[in-house]
Structure 1
Amino acid sequence: MDTSKLIGGRFKVKDRPVSGAMGDVWPAEDTKLGRTVALKFLARRRLRRQGAATDFTDWTVKRFGQEGVAMARVSHAHVAQIYDTGEHEGELYIVMEYIRGRSLAGHLREGPTLTLERTVRWAREICEGLDAAHSREVLHHDIKPDNIMITNEGEVKIVDFGLASFADVAQSHTGAGTALYKAPERWGGSPGSVRSDLYSVGCVLYEMLTGRPPFGNPQDDPMTVGRMHQDNAPAPPSAHRPGVPGQLDRLVRILLAKDPGDRPRSAEAVSAMLSDIQHSLGAEDTATRRAHVSGGVDGSADHSERIRELDRQIFELEGRFGPYDHAVIDARIVHAELTGRSGDTRGAAALYNRLGRDCQDLFGPYDARALNAFEGVARWIARSGAG
């Protein structure tokens, strides 16, 4: 694609694209409004070359426009805003909000085990964004970690509403990455529903808690994964991660129910359940702080809000001073301690382990900061009863 000229008469491509199965995303400058946007191109030609059905093009053109109009009506803090649609050199594109951050898939793949608080908070924000779309009768059809962005401020943004409903048409692109999160009824040919999206949320929540999806892995044959979704029952998250509250085990179980009628009625209902769990985590943290007054953490703020503020502080400090500044390391230590005191001892150990390895890489294997971090690993593993 020729990116040397303005796209749509106003968008100037700024950098290289990020490629996905259904298309490419280019950062661009909106020369009319003076802001950075993301241009997501639907790769019709590429899909046809790789075996998509011959009637894919006409159907896609129609649906692409309809989806863009629908999503333009959805305005919510946890949904990436769609601004416009267009066509350039025979390829359709949407103009959407540019998100500074990285995908949930990146966090799961590259970061430490997510804490319970962060897991519950991000899952709640996913459901809040989905509820806003569902209220406009817009389904996502492809909720998965790659389609959930986490901003540099630690907030969820759901992306790809504009393309997700086309994914099943391009059969050559229905790979295991999507199969891992696809509801049982959709393997039987159902177009899906609100409760199909919620099943996918259950798969994502399961992976956030355990580090693995409930069925299969990315290397498995998609049809094999599909049979697992239809026939198998996953072990509860607590079987893979001791310390997961029973409330979360129960919520995951009902989200992953085979019969859509056995799942929650709405994303709003799931968000309310997650809010209750989030408050209970905060209550547990308050009780723990009272038992550990000498620990040096102020007990005046709610646990969830303190974790949220620490997330923002760490993101901001890393952006300003780099990941290994003293202030960043100090904030990560406080974050790990607060995580442990909330009852998520394994999460605390994982955070300290990542910090220790990072400090070793930068400061050397015998640096005091690295050794102190690994002492934190041992301390919180011992408290978990696993060591």
Structure 2
Amino acid sequence: MPEPGAHVGDARRYELLRHRDSGAMGDVWEAFDNNLDRLVAVKFPLHRPRGINPNREREAADRALFDREALTMAQVSSPYVATIHDRHMGAEPFLVMELVEGRPLSRLLGETPLPLERTCRWSSQIAEGLGAAHEVGVVHRDIKPGNILITDDRSDVRIIDFGLARFADATASYSGAGTPLYTSPEQCRMEAGDRRSDLYSLGCVMYEMVTGWTPFGDRSSDPGALARAHQERLPVSPRVQVAGVPEPLDRLIMSLLAKSPDERPQNAQAVIHAVREVERAPVMPEESPSRDHRSVRGAASPHVNTGFVTRIRETERRARKLRIRYGHSHPEAIAARMELAELTGRSGDALGAAQLYDGLGQDCRRWFGPHDRRTLDAFEGIARWIEGATE
């Protein structure tokens, strides 16, 4: 692995500052571009172990494939895909990309569903990024929360590792296509897959957004069992898992998770259109869904009033900036989080408001104690919006 302070590229253009991440696709470094005076991300792909008798022909084929993928990735133009700035094909090939300051979506997912506004916004942005790639013939083949960054400044999506899956598939360090929790049935059969495979993986991510769980298994599950589940089992409907998931959103997710690619939405634009229909759909009363072995959370049918979307995004952005500037426990940061929860509830997503208040209440209890006014205010907000969700 390179060392901090090393220079790479022609005329020592890029100075490596610090190692940022390692994964199945390679190593990412934060670097400084001396030509353009800006911070960038430099990604070194993983290499096949050379061994005693390296296969020179295979190494040459790998490098040619990496170069071809880099050129293809550079054609993807979308605000929701990390931009490729440069490529270097010397003794140590690497890509130079936009440095995205943010957190992977995987850190924001857990057993608590996301508020509906975030689910709709981020799902639509992921679909837009995929659509831009698909238009130029690039299939990601490893869409998962870890490859979706949420930016710190605007709370928008950036998809990373576009096109590198096909390069990584050719290396001995990478086994199989995609990540088992999010892999399409056809990829589980070791078929190449196409843009509809990406949409299946998006369906898995959306399922996790609205329920807190992946469609099948968890990170401790056997990969072979997960592959069989993707090919043979039908996932439990999100509306059965969690009360209040809008019927149009449930229908979209289940269609994305169809076993046959022909039965899924055929392109990303269809997904974007369907998400917008979810946002515009009227709130309809519904019966409580049946319970399975997991608890059903909430009872309202959440709906995003589009008049609130801009205000929610602005408040979310302001809360994030205040936390970065003053710290998480600063009064202004806490007040902004309370405002965000209120706006979420007023937009029609009472369950989402209760979840945001719950997170704030847990934080305030840890920072200030269980009897502090800020803790009690947050928990009062949970009760108020839960009561509104069940009326």
Q: Is the 8 A contact 2:69 2:167 kept in 1?
A: no
What are the superposed Cα offsets for residues 68-92 of structure 1, whole Å, 9 maximum, x if unpaired?
101111121001001112256x543
Q: Is the 8 A contact 1:177 1:218 kept in 2?
A: no
Cα deviation for residue 326 of structure 1 reads: 1.6
Match of 1:303 in 2: 308
Matched, 1:210 2:215: no
Matched, 1:263 2:264: yes
Q: How does 1:1-387 map to 2 (within 5 A)?
A: 1-3=1-3, 4-8=5-9, 9-45=12-48, 57-87=59-89, 90-109=91-110, 113-152=113-152, 153-170=154-171, 173-174=174-175, 178-280=179-281, 302-385=307-390
Residues 172 and 30 of structure 1: CA distance in aligned 2, closer, same or farther (over 3 Å)? closer
Residues 118 and 309 of structure 1: CA distance in aligned 2, closer, same or farther (over 3 Å)? same
* Distance in 2, Cα, partners of 1:244 & 1:204: 15
* Distance in 1, Cα, partners of 2:370 & 2:246: 36
Which stretches in structure 2 are left out of the alignment for 5+ residues? 284-304
Cα deviation for residue 320 of structure 1 reads: 2.0
Partner amino acid, structure 1, of 2:8: I
Q: Choose between structure 1 and 2: higher helix proportion.
A: 1
* Distance in 2, Cα, partners of 1:66 & 1:170: 16
* Distance in 2, Cα, partners of 1:264 & 1:54: 42
Residues 171 and 196 of structure 1: CA distance in aligned 2, closer, same or farther (over 3 Å)? farther
Match of 2:302 in 1: none
Comparing 166-175 with 337-346, greater Cα deviation is found at: 166-175
With the length of structure 1 as denominator, give the TM-score of the two structures: 0.88
Residues 176 and 42 of structure 1: CA distance in aligned 2, closer, same or farther (over 3 Å)? closer
* Distance in 1, Cα, partners of 2:177 & 2:215: 13
Partner amino acid, structure 2, of 1:368: R
Identity %: 46
SS at match of 1:85: strand
* Distance in 2, Cα, partners of 1:40 & 1:381: 46
Comparing 339-348 with 18-27, greater Cα deviation is found at: 339-348
Cα deviation for residue 170 of structure 1 reads: 4.3
Cα deviation for residue 132 of structure 1 reads: 0.6
Residues 53 and 261 of structure 1: CA distance in aligned 2, closer, same or farther (over 3 Å)? farther
RMSD of Structure 2 on Structure 1 (CA): 2.5
* Distance in 1, Cα, partners of 2:21 & 2:196: 30
* Distance in 2, Cα, partners of 1:177 & 1:211: 21
Residues 248 and 206 of structure 1: CA distance in aligned 2, closer, same or farther (over 3 Å)? same
Q: Is the 8 A contact 2:316 2:337 kept in 1?
A: no
* Distance in 2, Cα, partners of 1:342 & 1:380: 12
Q: Is the 8 A contact 1:144 1:201 kept in 2?
A: yes
With the length of structure 2 as denominator, give the TM-score of the two structures: 0.87
SS at match of 1:44: coil
SS at match of 1:125: helix
Cα deviation for residue 55 of structure 1 reads: 7.5
Residues 74 and 37 of structure 1: CA distance in aligned 2, closer, same or farther (over 3 Å)? same
* Distance in 1, Cα, partners of 2:261 & 2:56: 32
Q: Is the 8 A contact 1:142 1:165 kept in 2?
A: no
Residues 97 and 334 of structure 1: CA distance in aligned 2, closer, same or farther (over 3 Å)? same
What are the superposed Cα offsets for residues 152-198 of structure 1, whole Å, 9 maximum, x if unpaired?
11010110014222343446634898111111011223211111110
Which stretches in structure 1 are left out of the alignment for 5+ residues? 285-299
The size of the alignment, in residue pairs, is 365
* Distance in 2, Cα, partners of 1:366 & 1:58: 66
Q: Is the 8 A contact 1:112 1:354 kept in 2?
A: no
